[in-house]
Amino acid sequence: MREFFREIVHALEEGRPVELVSIAASDGSTPRGAGAMMAVFPGGGITGTIGGGNVEFECQRLAAELLERGGDALRQFRFTLGDAASLGMVCGGGVTVQFQYLPAGEQRIIAVLRDLIEADGGNRDTWLLRRIEGEQVTAMGLADRTGPRHLDILPEELELLCGNQAVFARKWLSIPVVKAGRTYLFGGGHVSQALVPVLASLGFRPVVYDDRPEFADPALFPKAEKTLCGDFARLSEQVTVTPEDYVVVMTRGHQADYEVLTQVLRSGAKYLGCIGSKRKLALCRERLLAAGFTDEEYARLHAPIGLAIGAQTPEEIAVSVAAEMIAVRAGLENGLRRPLG
């Protein structure tokens, strides 16, 4: 998402206007849900997506028209055959799409978007807020856990707008753009090298930690937010795992796995996963229970890690692990948990 807004800011500062297209609300089965965004530039260039297919095609066409005249709009599209607003699709749902014209060089908007980019780098929950009256955006700003910013008009019920999902209510459209939490990958081997770019593309903010400098080399992980080198037995010197974080344990051996797990099992992390054979993990479990951890605490661990898709190569395992993490983030882990191995 950081790159998405950087492209918009770059265009505005170069003197090119942008039409920002957002799914404000959705119901039923739709290609993308509320909060999906796309930007349309002069000449037809785009970044981001609101789901592809006919709805995206129609929205690109309308965005280009609005860009020409500097307009905002609010439109509804249905994915049902025979409906007057139908796009000839059979998904059975519908979306409300909001179009916002961003004038070239508009310093107030640039300041909001630059603040949003900085918030993404700062790892704090941040929402993009826009007040919509009729079809016009009359206010645009941000909010985080400390309150709103860049807004002269304040929402009456900010707590309602600052949830896990996009909200369009009481003239306000709120989209959670930055979600706090990082993914700590302990071990910088082949699977981590395949996994990091996948996680980065999905917004999981990977941080790699290894006790070998050559496997904590930033050159190996250009998509990682950070690489750290340190002792696996002393993680707290550089890492604090919070309930917003994800943990992936992929060290080079059983002893290092055990050392990491003793420090993260009680962290409350949103996701805990450990790679390894069933035998290796069974031995690790025995040691953890002997050290005073409970069956309930160990049960939080996804081990073996990943969904069972028959993955063999580092790249395939990366896909299976990322898929499991997506399920956890979406609150679907109970229905999808299928051990790999």
pLDDT at 333: 63
pLDDT at 278: 86
User: Which amino acid, residue 185?
Assistant: L
pLDDT at 250: 97
On the question of pLDDT at 46 being above 80, the answer is: yes
Host H or E run for residue 74: strand 73-78
Full DSSP string of 198-239: HHHHTT--EEEEESSGGGS-GGG-TT-SEEEE--GGGGGGT-
Report the pLDDT averaged over residues 325-339. 71
Task: Give residue-wise pLDDT tens across range 261-292.
Answer: 999 999 999 999 999 988 889 999 999 999 99
Confidence of residue 338 (pLDDT cuts 50, 70, 90): very low
On the question of pLDDT at 83 being above 90, the answer is: no
Least confident range from 21-30, 79-88, 127-136, 212-221: namely 79-88
pLDDT at 2: 83
pLDDT at 263: 97
Confidence of residue 29 (pLDDT cuts 50, 70, 90): confident
Host H or E run for residue 124: none
Neighbours of 268 (CB within 10 A): 13
Q: Does domain 181-328 have CATH number 3.40.50.720?
A: yes
Residues 6+ apart with CB under 8 A from 108: 140, 150
pTM of the model: 0.79
pLDDT at 124: 84
On the question of pLDDT at 236 being above 80, the answer is: yes
CA nearest 25: which of 142, 166, 153? 166
Confidence of residue 90 (pLDDT cuts 50, 70, 90): low
Least confident range from 5-19, 81-95, 117-131, 226-240: namely 81-95
Confidence of residue 239 (pLDDT cuts 50, 70, 90): very high
R_g of the chain computed on alpha carbons:
22
Task: Give residue-wise pLDDT tens across range 137-170.
Answer: 999 999 998 999 999 989 988 999 998 889 999 9
Separation CA 224–CA 136 (nearest Å): 39
Instruction: Extract long-range pairs of 33-39: CB within 8 Å, 24+ residues apart.
Output: 33/165, 33/166, 34/95, 34/165, 34/166, 34/167, 34/168, 34/175, 35/165, 35/166, 35/175, 35/176, 37/4, 37/175, 38/63, 39/4, 39/7, 39/8, 39/11
Mean residue pLDDT of the chain comes to 91
Task: Give residue-wise pLDDT tens across range 171-189.
Answer: 999 999 988 899 999 999 9
pLDDT at 121: 76
pLDDT at 304: 92
Report the pLDDT averaged over residues 99-114. 97
Least confident range from 59-63, 88-92, 288-292: namely 88-92
pLDDT, greater one: 121 or 132: 132
Domain range annotation of the chain: 1-179, 181-328
Separation CA 215–CA 183 (nearest Å): 17
Q: Return the percentage of the chain with pLDDT > 70, whole number.
A: 94
Separation CA 270–CA 195 (nearest Å): 18
- For 58, phi then psi, to 5°, come to -65, -40
Q: How many CA atoms lie within 13 A of 314 on its CB side?
A: 12
